[in-house]
Chain A
Amino acid sequence: MTSSHRAAELIEAPDDFDAINKLYRERKWSDGLPIVPPTQERVARMLAGTQRARNEVVAQLAPGFAEATVENIAINAVMAGCEPAYLPVLIAAVEACADQAFNLQAIQATTNPVAIWVILNGPLAKTLEVNATFNCIGEGSWANATIGRALRLILRNVGGALPGEMDRATQGQPGKFTFCCAENEADSPWEPLHVERGYAKSASTVTVVGAEGTMNMNSHSKDAAELVHVFAETMIHPPSNEYTHGGEPWLMIGPEHAEILQRGGIDKSELKRRLWEASKMRAGLMSVKDRQRVIDSRSEELGPITLDTMLPISTRPEEICIMVAGGPGTHSVYIPCFGNSFAATREIRP
Protein backbone atom coordinates (compact mmCIF):
# COMPACT_ATOMS: atom_id res chain seq x y z
CA MET A 1 0.00 0.00 0.00
CA THR A 2 0.98 3.64 -0.24
CA SER A 3 2.60 5.76 2.37
CA SER A 4 0.56 8.34 4.16
CA HIS A 5 1.56 11.23 6.34
CA ARG A 6 -1.65 11.05 8.33
CA ALA A 7 -0.67 10.57 11.98
CA ALA A 8 -2.97 9.41 14.73
CA GLU A 9 -4.58 12.09 16.87
CA LEU A 10 -2.77 12.71 20.15
CA ILE A 11 -5.16 13.39 22.99
CA GLU A 12 -4.44 14.65 26.47
CA ALA A 13 -5.88 12.56 29.25
CA PRO A 14 -5.38 12.26 33.02
CA ASP A 15 -2.61 9.86 34.00
CA ASP A 16 -5.15 7.58 35.59
CA PHE A 17 -6.16 4.11 34.37
CA ASP A 18 -9.80 4.48 35.42
CA ALA A 19 -10.18 7.96 33.95
CA ILE A 20 -8.68 6.87 30.61
CA ASN A 21 -10.94 3.84 30.43
CA LYS A 22 -13.95 6.02 31.19
CA LEU A 23 -12.90 8.32 28.35
CA TYR A 24 -12.48 5.40 25.93
CA ARG A 25 -15.84 3.95 26.92
CA GLU A 26 -17.54 7.29 26.34
CA ARG A 27 -15.92 7.64 22.93
CA LYS A 28 -16.86 4.03 22.03
CA TRP A 29 -13.22 3.06 21.47
CA SER A 30 -13.44 0.01 23.73
CA ASP A 31 -14.94 -3.41 23.07
CA GLY A 32 -16.60 -3.34 26.49
CA LEU A 33 -13.53 -4.53 28.40
CA PRO A 34 -10.84 -2.36 30.02
CA ILE A 35 -8.12 -1.29 27.62
CA VAL A 36 -4.40 -0.71 28.10
CA PRO A 37 -3.96 3.05 27.64
CA PRO A 38 -2.08 3.60 24.37
CA THR A 39 0.43 6.15 25.62
CA GLN A 40 3.08 7.49 23.25
CA GLU A 41 5.67 5.36 25.02
CA ARG A 42 3.66 2.13 24.71
CA VAL A 43 2.86 2.78 21.06
CA ALA A 44 6.53 3.47 20.33
CA ARG A 45 7.47 0.15 21.98
CA MET A 46 4.79 -1.62 19.95
CA LEU A 47 6.03 -0.07 16.69
CA ALA A 48 9.48 -1.48 17.39
CA GLY A 49 7.91 -4.89 16.67
CA THR A 50 7.86 -4.15 12.94
CA GLN A 51 10.28 -2.83 10.36
CA ARG A 52 7.49 -1.06 8.51
CA ALA A 53 7.04 2.70 8.68
CA ARG A 54 4.48 3.94 11.18
CA ASN A 55 2.61 5.99 8.61
CA GLU A 56 2.40 3.21 6.01
CA VAL A 57 -1.18 2.53 4.92
CA VAL A 58 -1.84 -1.18 5.18
CA ALA A 59 -5.43 -1.25 3.93
CA GLN A 60 -8.71 0.60 3.81
CA LEU A 61 -11.19 -1.13 6.06
CA ALA A 62 -14.87 -1.42 5.34
CA PRO A 63 -17.50 -0.31 6.14
CA GLY A 64 -16.14 3.12 7.04
CA PHE A 65 -13.19 2.83 4.64
CA ALA A 66 -10.77 4.62 6.92
CA GLU A 67 -7.10 3.80 6.41
CA ALA A 68 -5.51 1.23 8.67
CA THR A 69 -1.95 2.44 9.13
CA VAL A 70 0.84 0.64 10.91
CA GLU A 71 0.46 3.26 13.63
CA ASN A 72 -3.25 2.86 14.28
CA ILE A 73 -2.88 -0.92 14.14
CA ALA A 74 -0.17 -0.54 16.81
CA ILE A 75 -2.40 1.69 18.92
CA ASN A 76 -5.17 -0.90 18.96
CA ALA A 77 -2.61 -3.64 19.63
CA VAL A 78 -1.49 -1.76 22.75
CA MET A 79 -5.11 -1.36 23.84
CA ALA A 80 -5.67 -5.10 23.50
CA GLY A 81 -2.58 -5.97 25.56
CA CYS A 82 -0.47 -7.34 22.68
CA GLU A 83 3.28 -7.86 22.82
CA PRO A 84 5.28 -5.90 20.19
CA ALA A 85 6.21 -9.21 18.51
CA TYR A 86 2.53 -9.70 17.62
CA LEU A 87 2.37 -6.54 15.51
CA PRO A 88 3.49 -8.18 12.23
CA VAL A 89 0.75 -10.79 12.76
CA LEU A 90 -1.87 -8.07 13.08
CA ILE A 91 -0.58 -6.22 10.03
CA ALA A 92 -0.84 -9.41 7.98
CA ALA A 93 -4.32 -10.08 9.42
CA VAL A 94 -5.48 -6.61 8.39
CA GLU A 95 -4.10 -7.17 4.89
CA ALA A 96 -5.98 -10.45 4.73
CA CYS A 97 -9.23 -8.88 5.93
CA ALA A 98 -9.03 -6.36 3.09
CA ASP A 99 -8.86 -9.14 0.47
CA GLN A 100 -11.82 -8.63 -1.84
CA ALA A 101 -12.92 -12.25 -1.66
CA PHE A 102 -13.09 -12.03 2.13
CA ASN A 103 -15.91 -9.50 1.75
CA LEU A 104 -15.19 -7.46 4.86
CA GLN A 105 -17.91 -4.98 3.94
CA ALA A 106 -20.59 -7.63 4.35
CA ILE A 107 -18.98 -9.22 7.42
CA GLN A 108 -18.74 -5.91 9.26
CA ALA A 109 -22.28 -4.66 8.55
CA THR A 110 -24.39 -7.81 8.56
CA THR A 111 -27.08 -8.99 10.97
CA ASN A 112 -25.21 -12.33 11.04
CA PRO A 113 -23.11 -13.02 14.17
CA VAL A 114 -19.97 -13.59 12.09
CA ALA A 115 -16.68 -13.09 13.94
CA ILE A 116 -13.22 -13.16 12.42
CA TRP A 117 -11.27 -16.26 13.34
CA VAL A 118 -7.51 -15.78 13.06
CA ILE A 119 -5.40 -18.88 12.37
CA LEU A 120 -1.62 -18.86 12.57
CA ASN A 121 0.66 -21.31 10.82
CA GLY A 122 4.39 -21.73 10.57
CA PRO A 123 7.36 -21.23 12.88
CA LEU A 124 6.22 -17.86 14.21
CA ALA A 125 3.15 -19.44 15.80
CA LYS A 126 5.45 -21.46 18.02
CA THR A 127 7.83 -18.57 18.67
CA LEU A 128 4.96 -16.35 19.80
CA GLU A 129 3.45 -19.21 21.84
CA VAL A 130 0.11 -19.04 20.05
CA ASN A 131 -1.84 -21.91 21.54
CA ALA A 132 -2.81 -24.77 19.23
CA THR A 133 -3.72 -27.36 21.85
CA PHE A 134 -5.81 -27.37 25.05
CA ASN A 135 -8.29 -24.49 25.12
CA CYS A 136 -6.86 -23.09 21.89
CA ILE A 137 -10.08 -21.17 21.28
CA GLY A 138 -10.84 -20.83 24.97
CA GLU A 139 -9.09 -18.68 27.51
CA GLY A 140 -5.66 -18.67 29.09
CA SER A 141 -3.25 -17.91 26.26
CA TRP A 142 -1.96 -14.34 26.11
CA ALA A 143 -1.19 -14.42 22.39
CA ASN A 144 -4.52 -15.98 21.40
CA ALA A 145 -6.54 -13.60 23.57
CA THR A 146 -4.81 -10.37 22.64
CA ILE A 147 -4.23 -10.93 18.90
CA GLY A 148 -7.88 -11.77 18.32
CA ARG A 149 -9.00 -8.89 20.52
CA ALA A 150 -6.70 -6.41 18.77
CA LEU A 151 -8.07 -7.35 15.36
CA ARG A 152 -11.63 -6.73 16.55
CA LEU A 153 -10.59 -3.36 18.03
CA ILE A 154 -9.01 -2.41 14.69
CA LEU A 155 -12.12 -3.42 12.78
CA ARG A 156 -14.37 -1.33 15.01
CA ASN A 157 -12.12 1.64 15.73
CA VAL A 158 -10.59 1.98 12.26
CA GLY A 159 -13.15 0.11 10.15
CA GLY A 160 -16.05 1.83 11.87
CA ALA A 161 -18.10 -1.26 12.71
CA LEU A 162 -19.64 -0.20 16.02
CA PRO A 163 -22.38 -2.47 17.42
CA GLY A 164 -25.86 -1.16 16.70
CA GLU A 165 -24.48 1.45 14.32
CA MET A 166 -22.63 0.12 11.27
CA ASP A 167 -22.33 -3.37 12.85
CA ARG A 168 -25.90 -4.67 12.66
CA ALA A 169 -25.34 -8.10 14.25
CA THR A 170 -28.66 -9.14 15.76
CA GLN A 171 -27.09 -10.99 18.69
CA GLY A 172 -23.39 -11.21 17.81
CA GLN A 173 -21.33 -13.90 19.53
CA PRO A 174 -18.51 -14.26 22.10
CA GLY A 175 -16.01 -14.79 19.27
CA LYS A 176 -16.34 -11.10 18.51
CA PHE A 177 -14.25 -10.39 21.61
CA THR A 178 -11.46 -12.66 20.39
CA PHE A 179 -11.11 -15.73 18.22
CA CYS A 180 -7.55 -16.78 17.48
CA CYS A 181 -5.47 -19.93 17.55
CA ALA A 182 -2.64 -21.69 15.80
CA GLU A 183 -2.94 -24.93 13.86
CA ASN A 184 -1.59 -27.92 15.75
CA GLU A 185 0.87 -28.83 13.00
CA ALA A 186 2.88 -31.09 15.32
CA ASP A 187 -0.06 -33.43 15.96
CA SER A 188 -1.62 -33.27 12.51
CA PRO A 189 -1.13 -36.23 10.15
CA TRP A 190 -1.73 -33.95 7.15
CA GLU A 191 0.00 -31.05 5.44
CA PRO A 192 -0.48 -27.78 7.30
CA LEU A 193 -3.19 -25.35 6.25
CA HIS A 194 -0.74 -22.77 4.90
CA VAL A 195 1.06 -25.35 2.76
CA GLU A 196 -2.30 -26.46 1.37
CA ARG A 197 -2.97 -22.80 0.57
CA GLY A 198 0.27 -22.45 -1.39
CA TYR A 199 2.88 -21.30 1.11
CA ALA A 200 6.21 -22.88 2.00
CA LYS A 201 6.24 -24.91 5.18
CA SER A 202 8.91 -22.56 6.50
CA ALA A 203 6.71 -19.51 5.99
CA SER A 204 4.61 -18.07 8.78
CA THR A 205 1.11 -17.04 7.80
CA VAL A 206 -2.15 -15.76 9.15
CA THR A 207 -5.51 -16.85 7.75
CA VAL A 208 -8.74 -14.98 8.50
CA VAL A 209 -12.09 -16.75 8.39
CA GLY A 210 -15.59 -15.29 8.70
CA ALA A 211 -16.89 -17.68 11.37
CA GLU A 212 -20.57 -17.81 12.30
CA GLY A 213 -20.00 -19.82 15.46
CA THR A 214 -18.69 -23.08 16.83
CA MET A 215 -20.44 -26.41 17.22
CA ASN A 216 -18.70 -29.12 19.22
CA MET A 217 -18.58 -32.63 17.78
CA ASN A 218 -17.94 -35.06 20.61
CA SER A 219 -17.67 -38.48 19.00
CA HIS A 220 -16.09 -41.55 20.54
CA SER A 221 -16.23 -43.41 17.23
CA LYS A 222 -12.99 -45.11 16.26
CA ASP A 223 -14.17 -45.88 12.74
CA ALA A 224 -13.05 -43.39 10.10
CA ALA A 225 -16.02 -43.77 7.77
CA GLU A 226 -18.45 -43.51 10.66
CA LEU A 227 -16.68 -40.40 11.94
CA VAL A 228 -17.05 -38.75 8.55
CA HIS A 229 -20.79 -39.28 8.74
CA VAL A 230 -20.93 -37.86 12.26
CA PHE A 231 -19.22 -34.72 10.97
CA ALA A 232 -21.42 -34.52 7.88
CA GLU A 233 -24.63 -34.87 9.88
CA THR A 234 -23.44 -32.03 12.13
CA MET A 235 -22.87 -29.82 9.14
CA ILE A 236 -26.43 -30.27 7.90
CA HIS A 237 -28.07 -27.14 9.25
CA PRO A 238 -31.15 -25.67 7.54
CA PRO A 239 -30.89 -22.03 8.67
CA SER A 240 -27.41 -21.81 7.21
CA ASN A 241 -25.79 -19.26 4.95
CA GLU A 242 -23.61 -22.07 3.61
CA TYR A 243 -26.52 -23.89 1.99
CA THR A 244 -28.16 -20.62 0.99
CA HIS A 245 -25.21 -19.26 -0.95
CA GLY A 246 -22.83 -22.19 -1.39
CA GLY A 247 -20.27 -21.30 1.23
CA GLU A 248 -16.92 -22.26 2.68
CA PRO A 249 -17.53 -24.25 5.88
CA TRP A 250 -14.61 -25.04 8.20
CA LEU A 251 -13.79 -27.93 10.46
CA MET A 252 -11.28 -27.82 13.31
CA ILE A 253 -10.40 -31.50 13.64
CA GLY A 254 -9.06 -32.60 17.01
CA PRO A 255 -5.78 -34.57 16.82
CA GLU A 256 -7.39 -37.84 17.99
CA HIS A 257 -10.06 -37.64 15.29
CA ALA A 258 -7.43 -36.73 12.70
CA GLU A 259 -5.42 -39.82 13.59
CA ILE A 260 -8.52 -42.04 13.30
CA LEU A 261 -9.26 -40.60 9.86
CA GLN A 262 -5.67 -40.99 8.70
CA ARG A 263 -5.53 -44.59 9.93
CA GLY A 264 -8.71 -45.22 8.00
CA GLY A 265 -6.99 -44.04 4.82
CA ILE A 266 -8.77 -40.69 4.68
CA ASP A 267 -6.57 -37.70 3.96
CA LYS A 268 -7.76 -34.09 3.79
CA SER A 269 -8.71 -34.25 0.15
CA GLU A 270 -10.71 -37.45 0.60
CA LEU A 271 -12.29 -36.09 3.75
CA LYS A 272 -13.51 -33.04 1.88
CA ARG A 273 -14.93 -35.16 -0.92
CA ARG A 274 -16.77 -37.49 1.46
CA LEU A 275 -18.08 -34.63 3.60
CA TRP A 276 -19.36 -32.79 0.56
CA GLU A 277 -21.38 -35.79 -0.54
CA ALA A 278 -22.61 -36.80 2.90
CA SER A 279 -23.61 -33.29 3.97
CA LYS A 280 -25.97 -32.64 1.07
CA MET A 281 -29.22 -31.40 2.55
CA ARG A 282 -32.73 -31.81 1.21
CA ALA A 283 -34.06 -28.36 0.33
CA GLY A 284 -37.39 -29.27 1.93
CA LEU A 285 -35.78 -28.99 5.37
CA MET A 286 -35.62 -25.23 4.90
CA SER A 287 -38.47 -22.80 5.44
CA VAL A 288 -40.32 -21.48 2.38
CA LYS A 289 -38.62 -18.10 2.57
CA ASP A 290 -35.18 -19.60 3.14
CA ARG A 291 -35.66 -21.92 0.18
CA GLN A 292 -36.59 -18.88 -1.92
CA ARG A 293 -33.26 -17.32 -0.93
CA VAL A 294 -31.49 -20.46 -2.16
CA ILE A 295 -33.43 -20.28 -5.42
CA ASP A 296 -32.45 -16.63 -5.84
CA SER A 297 -28.81 -17.35 -5.03
CA ARG A 298 -28.03 -20.78 -6.50
CA SER A 299 -30.37 -21.57 -9.40
CA GLU A 300 -27.67 -20.76 -11.91
CA GLU A 301 -25.32 -23.19 -10.20
CA LEU A 302 -27.81 -25.96 -9.37
CA GLY A 303 -30.66 -25.61 -11.86
CA PRO A 304 -34.30 -25.79 -10.72
CA ILE A 305 -34.55 -26.23 -6.95
CA THR A 306 -37.45 -28.25 -5.56
CA LEU A 307 -38.28 -29.62 -2.13
CA ASP A 308 -36.30 -32.75 -2.95
CA THR A 309 -33.21 -31.07 -4.37
CA MET A 310 -30.14 -32.16 -2.42
CA LEU A 311 -28.21 -28.97 -1.77
CA PRO A 312 -24.44 -29.18 -1.51
CA ILE A 313 -22.98 -27.11 1.32
CA SER A 314 -20.42 -25.52 -1.02
CA THR A 315 -20.02 -25.32 -4.78
CA ARG A 316 -17.12 -27.79 -4.72
CA PRO A 317 -15.65 -30.23 -2.17
CA GLU A 318 -12.42 -28.22 -2.14
CA GLU A 319 -14.27 -25.33 -0.53
CA ILE A 320 -14.72 -27.30 2.67
CA CYS A 321 -11.75 -26.20 4.77
CA ILE A 322 -9.95 -28.38 7.29
CA MET A 323 -7.39 -27.57 9.96
CA VAL A 324 -6.20 -29.51 13.00
CA ALA A 325 -6.17 -27.96 16.46
CA GLY A 326 -6.86 -28.88 20.05
CA GLY A 327 -5.43 -31.15 22.69
CA PRO A 328 -6.20 -34.79 23.45
CA GLY A 329 -9.91 -35.67 23.57
CA THR A 330 -12.70 -36.98 21.37
CA HIS A 331 -13.70 -33.55 20.14
CA SER A 332 -13.67 -31.67 16.89
CA VAL A 333 -15.42 -28.43 16.04
CA TYR A 334 -17.67 -27.56 13.15
CA ILE A 335 -17.39 -23.88 12.29
CA PRO A 336 -20.11 -22.73 9.91
CA CYS A 337 -19.22 -19.56 8.12
CA PHE A 338 -20.80 -16.47 6.74
CA GLY A 339 -21.45 -17.92 3.33
CA ASN A 340 -20.67 -14.80 1.34
CA SER A 341 -16.98 -14.77 2.17
CA PHE A 342 -13.84 -16.75 1.41
CA ALA A 343 -10.96 -17.05 3.86
CA ALA A 344 -7.80 -15.10 3.06
CA THR A 345 -4.19 -15.92 3.94
CA ARG A 346 -1.19 -13.63 4.09
CA GLU A 347 2.42 -14.22 4.91
CA ILE A 348 3.62 -12.54 8.10
CA ARG A 349 6.49 -10.20 7.32
CA PRO A 350 8.59 -8.24 9.78
Chain B
Amino acid sequence: MQIAKRGRAAVAICSSAFLTLGRAQARALGHAELPIAVIAHPFGVRTRDEVRVLADGCVDEVVKLATGHNTK
Protein backbone atom coordinates (compact mmCIF):
# COMPACT_ATOMS: atom_id res chain seq x y z
CA MET B 1 0.00 0.00 0.00
CA GLN B 2 2.79 2.38 0.93
CA ILE B 3 4.61 1.51 -2.30
CA ALA B 4 1.45 2.07 -4.35
CA LYS B 5 0.96 5.46 -2.67
CA ARG B 6 4.36 6.47 -4.00
CA GLY B 7 3.22 5.71 -7.55
CA ARG B 8 5.40 2.63 -7.91
CA ALA B 9 4.34 -0.76 -9.16
CA ALA B 10 2.96 -2.73 -6.24
CA VAL B 11 1.31 -6.13 -6.01
CA ALA B 12 -0.10 -7.78 -2.91
CA ILE B 13 -0.13 -11.57 -2.64
CA CYS B 14 -3.07 -13.02 -0.75
CA SER B 15 -4.35 -16.53 -0.09
CA SER B 16 -7.85 -17.20 -1.41
CA ALA B 17 -9.48 -17.38 2.05
CA PHE B 18 -8.29 -13.87 2.87
CA LEU B 19 -9.12 -12.17 -0.41
CA THR B 20 -12.25 -10.55 1.06
CA LEU B 21 -10.14 -8.97 3.82
CA GLY B 22 -7.45 -7.94 1.35
CA ARG B 23 -9.90 -6.19 -0.97
CA ALA B 24 -11.73 -4.54 1.95
CA GLN B 25 -8.47 -3.24 3.41
CA ALA B 26 -7.34 -1.93 0.02
CA ARG B 27 -10.64 -0.03 -0.30
CA ALA B 28 -10.44 1.27 3.28
CA LEU B 29 -6.93 2.58 2.69
CA GLY B 30 -7.90 4.32 -0.56
CA HIS B 31 -6.51 1.84 -3.09
CA ALA B 32 -9.46 -0.23 -4.21
CA GLU B 33 -7.62 -1.07 -7.45
CA LEU B 34 -4.50 -2.42 -5.72
CA PRO B 35 -3.46 -5.49 -7.73
CA ILE B 36 -3.77 -8.64 -5.67
CA ALA B 37 -2.34 -11.98 -6.81
CA VAL B 38 -4.30 -14.86 -5.31
CA ILE B 39 -2.83 -18.19 -4.23
CA ALA B 40 -4.62 -21.26 -2.94
CA HIS B 41 -5.37 -21.49 0.78
CA PRO B 42 -4.07 -22.77 3.12
CA PHE B 43 -0.60 -21.36 2.80
CA GLY B 44 0.72 -21.68 6.35
CA VAL B 45 0.69 -25.50 6.38
CA ARG B 46 2.97 -25.77 3.33
CA THR B 47 6.57 -26.89 3.51
CA ARG B 48 9.16 -24.51 2.14
CA ASP B 49 9.51 -26.65 -0.99
CA GLU B 50 5.73 -26.48 -1.55
CA VAL B 51 5.85 -22.73 -1.10
CA ARG B 52 8.53 -22.52 -3.78
CA VAL B 53 6.23 -24.45 -6.16
CA LEU B 54 3.36 -22.05 -5.33
CA ALA B 55 5.64 -19.10 -5.94
CA ASP B 56 6.72 -20.47 -9.31
CA GLY B 57 3.07 -20.94 -10.18
CA CYS B 58 2.06 -17.35 -9.51
CA VAL B 59 5.13 -15.45 -10.72
CA ASP B 60 3.63 -14.83 -14.17
CA GLU B 61 0.51 -13.34 -12.65
CA VAL B 62 2.54 -11.16 -10.31
CA VAL B 63 4.62 -9.84 -13.21
CA LYS B 64 1.51 -9.18 -15.27
CA LEU B 65 -0.20 -7.33 -12.39
CA ALA B 66 2.93 -5.31 -11.67
CA THR B 67 3.80 -4.37 -15.24
CA GLY B 68 0.66 -4.86 -17.26
CA HIS B 69 2.60 -7.24 -19.49
CA ASN B 70 2.83 -10.99 -19.79
CA THR B 71 6.19 -12.63 -19.10
CA LYS B 72 6.00 -14.63 -22.31
Q: Do these two chains really belong together in a complex?
A: yes
Chain A: residues with CB nearer than 8 A to chain B?
63-66, 109, 160, 164-166, 168, 289
Contact B29 A65 (CB under 8 A): yes
B70 at the interface (CB under 8 A from A): no
* Contact with A165, one of B21, B29, B45 (Cβ below 8 angstroms): B21
Give 18 A-B pairs besides A164-B20, A166-B24, A166-B25 with Cβ atoms closer than 8 angstroms: A63-B21, A63-B24, A63-B28, A64-B24, A64-B28, A65-B28, A65-B29, A109-B21, A109-B25, A160-B28, A165-B20, A165-B24, A166-B20, A166-B21, A168-B17, A168-B18, A168-B21, A289-B45
Chain B residues whose CB sits within 8 angstroms of the CB of A289 once the complex forms: 44-45
Nearest chain-A residue to B47 (Cβ)?
Answer: A289
Chain A residues whose CB sits within 8 angstroms of the CB of B25 once the complex forms: 63, 109, 166
Interface string of B29-44 (1 = CB under 8 A from A): 1000000000000001
Chain B residues whose CB sits within 8 angstroms of the CB of A66 once the complex forms: 28
- What CA separation (Å) do A216 and B44 show in the bound complex? 31
Give A16 Cβ to nearest chain B Cβ, in Å: 32
- What CA separation (Å) do A317 and B24 show in the bound complex? 38
Give B17 Cβ to nearest chain A Cβ, in Å: 8
From DSSP, what is the main secondary structure of chain A's interface residues?
A: loop
- What CA separation (Å) do A30 and B18 show in the bound complex? 23
Interface string of B1-31 (1 = CB under 8 A from A): 0000000000000000110110011001100
The 3 closest A-B pairs by CB, nearest first: A64-B28, A65-B28, A166-B24
Chain B residues whose CB sits within 8 angstroms of the CB of A165 once the complex forms: 20-21, 24
- What CA separation (Å) do A64 and B32 show in the bound complex? 12
Give A116 Cβ to nearest chain B Cβ, in Å: 19
Give A124 Cβ to nearest chain B Cβ, in Å: 34
- What CA separation (Å) do A63 and B20 show in the bound complex? 12
Nearest chain-A residue to B27 (Cβ)?
Answer: A64
Chain B residues whose CB sits within 8 angstroms of the CB of A64 once the complex forms: 24, 28
- What CA separation (Å) do A63 and B22 show in the bound complex? 10
Chain B residues whose CB sits within 8 angstroms of the CB of A65 once the complex forms: 28-29
- What CA separation (Å) do A260 and B64 show in the bound complex? 66
Chain B residues whose CB sits within 8 angstroms of the CB of A63 once the complex forms: 21, 24-25, 28
- What CA separation (Å) do A289 and B17 show in the bound complex? 20
Give B12 Cβ to nearest chain A Cβ, in Å: 14
Give A167 Cβ to nearest chain B Cβ, in Å: 8
Nearest chain-B residue to A60 (Cβ)?
Answer: B28
Nearest chain-A residue to B18 (Cβ)?
Answer: A168
Give A159 Cβ to nearest chain B Cβ, in Å: 10
Give B15 Cβ to nearest chain A Cβ, in Å: 11
Give B9 Cβ to nearest chain A Cβ, in Å: 24
Give B38 Cβ to nearest chain A Cβ, in Å: 16
Give A93 Cβ to nearest chain B Cβ, in Å: 21
Chain B residues whose CB sits within 8 angstroms of the CB of A109 once the complex forms: 21, 25
Nearest chain-A residue to B25 (Cβ)?
Answer: A63
Nearest chain-B residue to A64 (Cβ)?
Answer: B28
- What CA separation (Å) do A66 and B24 show in the bound complex? 12
- What CA separation (Å) do A164 and B17 show in the bound complex? 10
- What CA separation (Å) do A168 and B24 show in the bound complex? 12
